[in-house]
Amino acid sequence: MTLQLYGIVRAGHPRAPRTVCWEDLAMVVGEPEPDPAAHLAIVSALVEGGPVLPVRFGAVAADEDAVRTRVLAPDAGRFRADLDRLDGLAEVHVCLRFSGPGSAWRAARSDGLLAEVAQRARDSVSLPAGESADERWAFLVGLGDLLVIRDAVAGLGRAGGVQADWLGPLPAYSFLDRRTCSRWTW
């Protein structure tokens, strides 16, 4: 029976609906899901119950034994280290849209606007702007800071000339080392 892979968590994760365990690690699995938004919703729902290492959309395994022997066991040490590093943290995206002048002004303005968020973040990375924003940032923040971050971003709209949105909590996609990822993970 083919299993959709969603994310790696610690065994006993309180929000994991269905898992395949190997020692102290667990892969959240389910029926094959054709919708990437549904996949992200499932992985994001896990974040508040403990760290999660997201698995890219569309990754499947033939059966539970393949999950244990081909996915979890070979990289167990790295998975444990990443779960420990991300414990209590989540990724938050902040998107800024400006009605003001050119890109240099926008970049300088975003640094000032995002200062409060950046002070609370453990790490940050600039993301490609895309169609819906002039500036997009990913911040790695403590779960206890989510409401403060939400309120800080909501307050940015009062600065004039800027519209701000946030999305989170998300799994820490932007803060996992892509050089060492396996074919199963992020």
Q: Where are the domains of the chain?
A: 3-87, 89-175
Question: Quick one: which of 27, 25, 28, 21 has its CA closest to 76?
Answer: 25
- Looking at 3.60.15.10, 3.90.580.10, 3.50.50.60, 3.30.70.920, the CATH number of the domain 89-175 comes to 3.30.70.920
CA quadruple 144, 146, 151, 152: dihedral, nearest 10? 100
pLDDT in 10s for each residue of the chain, 186 residues: 899 999 999 999 999 999 999 999 999 999 998 999 999 999 999 999 999 999 989 999 999 999 999 999 999 999 999 999 999 999 999 988 877 655 555 555 667 778 888 999 999 998 987 776 678 899 999 999 999 999 989 887 676 678 888 999 999 999 987 544 455 454
